[in-house]
Structure 1
């Protein structure tokens, strides 16, 4: 359920502070929660409350840029499930494109500019699975 708080800046700030606290509490040790590409992409879409056209959480954009997998997708590198990779990749592509992120960092690492290529390649897998289960 989406909560629209257009006219409630104090509620927006309260929610942003809660997200910032949660992100800060993850830490760098082995007990830290693993990052979800999908959730990170959604948080990356939050606009800065100061009115400038920048992300409220730029560290989420940094995470997206640094964690694209060799096949061009985003998701859990230890476990491949096409549905998860597809939705995570689409979310990350939307976040990167929403902020007009320069994709040189992604290209420099020999990966596709976006995960769109991954989506195109794997769309057939999803289509086949869906049609064979109906």
Structure 2
């Protein structure tokens, strides 16, 4: 799995954050890598280029490795809510999801419905009103 999954669950590019001081170093380095890449190439070679850059930084910059390694594993079910949006809302499941995850990865790439086929409110219906 790690061969095919660049981050090896060490980070998720859709949700990166850090203090302003560290962020300056981290994101300036990423910006420089992207600029250098784009000086030479006009197309991104791979969807995971951001992950590849972070992997190189992780391997080559001790501060980046330390930051990543010191961040505890978190948000283990970040994709789960996205899989439930069109399902009938369940309060217990929702409470459990909120308890285990601070962030939830959602997508705009599919249609979401306010009610199930039998007219029950969906997860989408409930969270869209929060």
Structure 1 and Structure 2 fold alike (TM over 0.5): no
More helix per residue: 1
Q: What is the TM-score when the length of structure 1 is the normalising length?
A: 0.24
